[in-house]
Structure 1
Amino acid sequence: MRRRSAAKGAFFLLVTALGFNAMLGLSHMEKLYVESMVSKQTLIGGDMKRKIEKSLAFGKNIRKFVGMEKLLEEARGHLGRKFHVEETSPGDGSMKADEPWEAAESGIDVSVALPDGVIVYSTKASFKKTSLPGPVLDLPAFSKTLKNGKKTPGHVKHGGVYFIALPLKAPFKKAPAGAAIITFDEKPVKKRVENLTRQSLRLMALILAGGAVLLALFLPMAVARRRESEKMSKFKISLAMFSVIALCQIVFTGLSALSFKNYSVRIAREKTAALTAMLQKDIHYLLSKGLRIERLAKMEVRLGEIIAAAPELERVAIHDAAGRPLYAASPGGVVHFSSHPDGPGEAPETADREPAEAEYILTRRLLKGGKTQAFSPGEAGVIRAVISQKALLDQIKKIALDSATVLVISILFSVEMLILIFMLMEKKTGGRKKKARAGPKAIRSAAFIFLFGSSLSISFVPLHMGKLYEPIFGVSKDMAMGLPISMEMFFAGISIMISGAWLDRRGWHEPFFAGLAAAALGSLYSWAAPDALHFILSRGAVGFGYGLAWMASQGFVISRAGEKNKNRGIAELVAGIFAGSICGGAAGAMLAERMGYNAVFLISAAILLFVIAYVCLFMRGAIEKPAPGTRKKTDAPRGLFIRFMLNRNVICLILLSAFPGAVAVVGLLNYFCPIYLNGIGASQSDIGRFFMIYGICMIYLAPFLSRRMDRAMNDKRYMVISGLLAGLGFMAFHLFKF
């Protein structure tokens, strides 16, 4: 029976963990895929932007721009063209002719809008003389002052369409003259995600089969034998299940990351092919006018613009028919070799440093007279572009870090589910004797599920408020977006005070159940909220329930764990809270992208109601009212509080431990570190990983230390050690320059 229960639990956990990993991974891959598509379209659209800005610099008026329609159609043709990167013959290095395809297949259109958002030119007739949606107008391209240097998001999804906004600079003005708008339908993204989903399901099935085989081999050896203690057997079963599940998740995540690494290389080659194709077309036009290839004015400047727009490129050069470089550009500078004092081919900043791998080199032939037909007079030269391996390596490192983050979150989820599975096994095999046990592990699982459900919406509550926003009480939109969270925290603070008195009189379970019910009803109210005011009120209900349940769960630990296990109980509770918050936030963001915000509120309500069923099933023995007479009314002598506050130990505890600890967590960790990391160029993902380290320490290190503290006769040494470690952390900012 025990072996069968362990096998069922292990297989269920393996399926759940891999499914959770797959959902997180697909969400992450979809995000990277959209970013790569936007980057590619932005890069190609940059050529159109450059031509429009050059015309504006020569005095053209954007409202009366002759030839704009032709320019937009040309750009649309490039955006909807399939650029080949395959070689025509081994070792040739040249590419097949590019094949045009219908841009309408991807819903690609190009428009130009004025600073107020009114579209004046477009390849789609229905777009003309219409206004862009509000979310598009919030993009940096429509800001009153163009910011140089730091990159800001330039795209947004609205109504099933992705909008990319490229600011058009007006000569001698800080404000933009307008914006070039590239739109494409979400269907190609959905199609790609569907393909990724099918690939992931096939991969997951194979890994699941391999994991099942490993479980079948290791679990029988881990099940308790007659001479072996139950504790040792439980440890061996846990180790076997965790090892197999973690191994399966590592393999799944690694293969998924490898797949996207290959995709990143392909996208880089496609971008390079597109840029060289547009450059080839421009040079052919000049050659058709009788210009010689070695006399193309400021061609090195044009190559420099390409390098600046494409960080994936290490070098772009134009060579003559004999293979001598004429113009070249790299991040180190640009050069016109014919005018260089050392003669052709000798500029140190752009010397050939081409990698041996052919996949990083792309070439396009330039034909004499600019002719592109098969029977041309011969080659005038070639365009040679080298993809930067360093840039690709940085991209791969980013993918690896993001994949590792997904792996850590999924393993956190697996560990908490493993604890829950063991509780289920103990209940099934232990009978009535085990029914009354409700120790620290029980509240850890309850806290995990509770915070998992509560945190599903944490990443998008302000965004949902932004969608519902309407002028209310004269509050600006930016301030209104923070009102739901403020209301949630305000009512959480009120309910914590109510919960403290309630659980003293009636036990921990009543405020806990009431809090769960209030939070679930608040989530349902958030789902049904018709406007901003109702949504703010709904979050107040969620916060009120959160505060009741949070305080009641601590009351459970204080009343049930006993004096010796109190530290351990608090640590287990905090571990469940942090694990649930990390996993719930990640899962909620993923679900919101696929199902929408409202659906996540419904799922959150269902999970919160499930916690009530969990407590009734696994913690029934702890549901009891305080026995009559256990709360004795005592009249505290006057001045007792003052004597307590003047106690030497209490003063030291507050001034030397509690207050510095609050400064470290709130001041340094929550406030200073995000600002500092952003200031030194850390990405938002890296900042999130920084906070995950703190959470993981609270999940796994805190319970271990709490057990030692419970056994120690004097806790003061741990307070001293914690103060020294925190002090060293502060000193690191002074001693080291990051």
Structure 2
Amino acid sequence: MMYTGILNYMTFEDNYNKSLVNTYSIAGNELVRKIEYALHYGKSMENFYGMSDTLGELKEIVKDVEEVNIISPHGEILYDLNGFVNNKTLPKELLKTAVFHQGMIDENCSYQVFQGKYHIFLKIFGPASNSIATLEMVFPRDSFQSSIDKNKRELVVYLAGVIIIAFFLLYIILLKTSLLTADSKVNRKRILFTLIAVLSSVQLLYCGINYHLFKNAYGQLALQSNSFVENTVAKNLEKVYRMGISLEDVDGVEEYLENIKAGLPLIERIDVIRPGTGAGVAVIDYANSREVALVKASISSTYIDKLMLEILLDMITVLIISLLFMIELTFLTTILMNRRRSPGEHKVVNPPYRHTPELIRGLIFIVNICVFMSITFVPIVMQKLYQPLPGLSREVVLGLPLSAEMFGGILAIFVAGLLIDKKGWRKIFYSGVLFIALGNLFSGLSSSAILFIFSRTIAGLGIGFILMTLRSLAVSLPERNFAIAEFSAGSIAGLNCGAVIGGMLADRIGYQPVFCLSAMTVLFSCAYVHWLMKALEVEYKSADEITGWNKFINFISDKNVQVFLLLIFAPFFIAGAFLDYYFPLFAKGHDLTQGDISRVFLINGLCIIYLSPILTKFATRCLGDKKGIAASLLVCICALAVFTFLGTIPAAIVTVILLGIAESFGVAMQTSYFLNLRSVKDLEVSKAIAYFSVMVNASRMVGPIIFGLTLTLGLRMGVGLIAGVFLILLIIFMFIPKDYLQKSL
């Protein structure tokens, strides 16, 4: 609930500030146009006599403004309200905003909060249509924060009240309900249901309160902007009458009103109407002492609804993430309460240790939250740090951090595969945590592209170490398919939570703090392993007379492996590139926002999380490994076919959902099928998982390339071609003679 309140408050504060900036910019733009008009007819910016009077006119219209300055492109203050200024420069902390490199509202307007004051900057163009100076307006904190602070206090009060209600409800339930089973074990389902029912209810209550408060606040802001616009336009029209000209003799009034409306989304329309025909601010002809017109501005309810939809979607997203947290933490809590510790510290995993899959799920959930906080903005950070590298295009350079991260992961797979049986999985895991922490910390502190690329390589090495250890541990369990499904569910839950949390925080506090937060929180996973999993070991097979090299040769020359890899495995993971690569491009082309795209990713993840254990058990029991992996690829083909035939945004979303369903059981089934292949059975578990992981990474690297090539054929035709080829490969797999393709059982 607190996280919901903080995010909603920060979203509201950002929208509120931008709306006020747009409102005050109306008067500022009037002044800018007057200066540009004078420059066009011969005045010089360096010797603009009468500038103090010109700037003073803004002070008369906008009473809250404290300072009005003209800034050169180099940050020198040329004029203020008193006229010429000598030897005075803008603080260096404001220079990037003043030259419109950050804090931009649009291409001609930016703002920044500095030392408790709000600085608004507007471009001034010269006769050659080039930017020659900047108008700066400085406002005190109260001009922006008074209403925001009021809403913050109300949010805190309501949050305290909702928390009290939640504790009271839980206390009543604990008094009236038994949370233990007949054999005195913790009833996990009952605890989960109780927590979800209570916490979801109070979360929904708090979301409703948030929605009501912010809707009222936006309404007040709209009224404030509406009043400001009406008064500003009325005063400007009165200046026309002071010159002895009536509005009927002036051309461009409608264009003038349209320009003001275009810069202020809260206002739907601005009209100049006859006196007595409606409500508005009067335009007075003081020379004749009569009311000549009314200025009437209308609030845009559509824009307010859009702002409220943004907050509503954030609420729903956070509610889903909260449910993920509640479910995962409830699973972990009940396991700990039921778990009976075995004597000794280093024991091979065995059937009596039946909670191990859930412990692995909890660990990968925690790790992935930290690991994937930065998944949505690594290329954006690289874009800010970009510097040319010899022989590489800009697009290639921007992709180097992701490539470096994958390279680090592949390198870690080989290293971990060699060392895990000798050093033990915990040492490899701790090393991975250390590399992730260092990689993310260096990423946040990076000041150059080279250092950032190196930092992502370190982080990728850590991710590879951790994934190798936990996958190896999962496949060591007797219930291999169930353990893999639990691993996948926890992994996807953590990925979705991390991506959403990291993305939302980055929008509000910046990228560097998120990197540092990820570096710090991942360290908690070491405590988790030390206290809860120190009795577990990866299954180890004794070395035999066959050398590792010979085993590798046997592996790659095995027809079963070749057929599986080419006909099922590679197509399955290549199809996943529709989500990772193709869907974002398609969605952007249809004007979906980045937030909307992220929510579609979240839907995909939810399908994997909660369908994985159910569908994996069903496929294992009813289909077996071979038919199960074929079914997963068939679902992928159907997903691509939906998009091929319809080619719309709803069809693309259905495709993403079907891909999530396929992955929910396909990964576990393919892992089990792979590990049961004849040449794989002779390998140590760690090496088998290493080969599997390398194959996954290689397929995912090829996927975007194949989808990218289909762009030349058209959006739907290219996807249809991929689906058709995959269908042919699936048919070949299903009808290969048994004497050619055999699987050792």
What TM-score comes out, normalization by structure 1 length? 0.74
> Which structure 2 residues correspond to residues 58-457 of structure 1 after superposition, within 5 A?
58-79=41-62, 81=63, 101=64, 103-104=65-66, 109-114=67-72, 118-123=76-81, 128=88, 135-136=96-97, 139=100, 154-155=109-110, 157=112, 160=115, 164-171=120-127, 173=128, 175-184=130-139, 195-220=150-175, 222-224=177-179, 227=182, 233-292=187-246, 295-323=249-277, 363-369=280-286, 377-427=289-339, 430=340, 432=342, 436-457=353-374
> Residues 695 and 311 from structure 1, CA distance in 2 versus in 1: closer, same or farther, beyond 3 angstroms?
same
Q: Does 1:497 align with 2:414?
A: yes
- Contact kept, 8 Å, 2:211 with 2:311, in 1: the verdict is yes
For 1:50, give the aligned amino acid.
Answer: R
Q: Distance in 1 between matches of 2:270 and 2:199?
A: 47
Q: Distance in 2 between matches of 1:422 and 1:287?
A: 78
> Residues 78 and 260 from structure 1, CA distance in 2 versus in 1: closer, same or farther, beyond 3 angstroms?
farther
- Contact kept, 8 Å, 1:303 with 1:316, in 2: the verdict is yes
> Residues 193 and 319 from structure 1, CA distance in 2 versus in 1: closer, same or farther, beyond 3 angstroms?
closer
Alpha-carbon offset, residue 481 of structure 1: 7.4
Q: After alignment, is 546-555 or 516-525 more displaced?
A: 516-525
Alpha-carbon offset, residue 252 of structure 1: 1.3
Q: Distance in 1 between matches of 2:267 and 2:409?
A: 52
For 1:694, give the aligned amino acid.
Answer: N
- SS state at 2:592 partner: coil
> Residues 23 and 293 from structure 1, CA distance in 2 versus in 1: closer, same or farther, beyond 3 angstroms?
closer
Alpha-carbon offset, residue 395 of structure 1: 2.9
Q: Distance in 2 between matches of 1:575 and 1:638?
A: 31
Q: Distance in 1 between matches of 2:108 and 2:311?
A: 19
Q: Which residue of 1 aligns with 2:603?
A: 693
For 1:704, give the aligned amino acid.
Answer: I
Which of the residues 659, 663, 675 maps onto 2:585? 675
> Which structure 2 residues correspond to residues 714-729 of structure 1 after superposition, within 5 A?
714-715=627-628, 716-729=630-643
> Residues 127 and 215 from structure 1, CA distance in 2 versus in 1: closer, same or farther, beyond 3 angstroms?
farther
* TM-align CA RMSD: 4.2
Which of the residues 45, 55, 58 maps onto 2:38? 55
Q: Distance in 2 between matches of 1:127 and 1:211?
A: 61
- SS state at 2:280 partner: strand
Q: Deviations along 1:612-663, whole A, 9 cap, x unmatched?
A: 11112222331x3655x54445365897446524x4x853x44454344334
Unaligned stretches of 5+ in structure 2?
344-350, 653-745
- Contact kept, 8 Å, 2:571 with 2:633, in 1: the verdict is no
- SS state at 1:615 partner: helix
Q: After alignment, is 272-281 or 460-469 more displaced?
A: 460-469
Q: Distance in 1 between matches of 2:650 and 2:507?
A: 38
Q: Which residue of 2 aligns with 1:664?
A: 575
Alpha-carbon offset, residue 153 of structure 1: 8.6
- SS state at 2:282 partner: strand
For 2:154, give the aligned amino acid.
Answer: Q
What TM-score comes out, normalization by structure 2 length? 0.73
- Contact kept, 8 Å, 2:429 with 2:465, in 1: the verdict is yes
> Which structure 2 residues correspond to residues 519-534 of structure 1 after superposition, within 5 A?
519-523=436-440
> Residues 732 and 581 from structure 1, CA distance in 2 versus in 1: closer, same or farther, beyond 3 angstroms?
farther
Alpha-carbon offset, residue 247 of structure 1: 1.5
- Contact kept, 8 Å, 2:4 with 2:315, in 1: the verdict is no
For 1:51, give the aligned amino acid.
Answer: K
> Residues 408 and 432 from structure 1, CA distance in 2 versus in 1: closer, same or farther, beyond 3 angstroms?
same
Q: How many residues align?
A: 635
For 1:606, give the aligned amino acid.
Answer: M
Q: Which residue of 2 aligns with 1:12?
A: none
Q: Which residue of 2 aligns with 1:704?
A: 614
- SS state at 1:382 partner: strand
Q: Deviations along 1:200-223, whole A, 9 cap, x unmatched?
A: 221111111111222233345553
Q: Distance in 1 between matches of 2:600 and 2:417?
A: 33
Q: Distance in 2 between matches of 1:25 and 1:676?
A: 29
Q: After alignment, is 458-467 or 485-494 more displaced?
A: 458-467
Alpha-carbon offset, residue 296 of structure 1: 5.0
> Residues 676 and 734 from structure 1, CA distance in 2 versus in 1: closer, same or farther, beyond 3 angstroms?
closer
- SS state at 2:123 partner: strand
Q: Distance in 2 between matches of 1:48 and 1:549?
A: 60
- Contact kept, 8 Å, 2:374 with 2:499, in 1: the verdict is no
Identity in percent: 25
Q: Distance in 1 between matches of 2:545 and 2:103?
A: 67
> Residues 60 and 435 from structure 1, CA distance in 2 versus in 1: closer, same or farther, beyond 3 angstroms?
farther
Q: Distance in 2 between matches of 1:525 and 1:709?
A: 44
Q: Which residue of 1 aligns with 2:703?
A: none
Q: Distance in 1 between matches of 2:102 and 2:32?
A: 12
Which of the residues 546, 549, 562 maps onto 2:466? 549
Q: Distance in 1 between matches of 2:496 and 2:254?
A: 55
- Contact kept, 8 Å, 2:21 with 2:111, in 1: the verdict is no
Alpha-carbon offset, residue 518 of structure 1: 2.7
Alpha-carbon offset, residue 551 of structure 1: 1.8
Q: Deviations along 1:80-131, whole A, 9 cap, x unmatched?
A: x3xxxxxxxxxxxxxxxxxxx4x33xxxx44444556655334495895559
Q: Which residue of 2 aligns with 1:337?
A: none
> Residues 588 and 293 from structure 1, CA distance in 2 versus in 1: closer, same or farther, beyond 3 angstroms?
closer
Q: Distance in 2 between matches of 1:694 and 1:539?
A: 26
Q: Distance in 1 between matches of 2:17 and 2:487?
A: 43
> Residues 309 and 189 from structure 1, CA distance in 2 versus in 1: closer, same or farther, beyond 3 angstroms?
closer
- SS state at 1:621 partner: coil
Q: Which residue of 1 aligns with 2:435?
A: 518
Unaligned stretches of 5+ in structure 1?
1-17, 82-100, 144-149, 325-361, 372-376
Alpha-carbon offset, residue 228 of structure 1: 8.2
> Residues 615 and 135 from structure 1, CA distance in 2 versus in 1: closer, same or farther, beyond 3 angstroms?
same
Q: Deviations along 1:13-49, whole A, 9 cap, x unmatched?
A: xxxxx23333333333333333333332333423223
Q: Which residue of 2 aligns with 1:634?
A: 546
> Residues 494 and 697 from structure 1, CA distance in 2 versus in 1: closer, same or farther, beyond 3 angstroms?
same
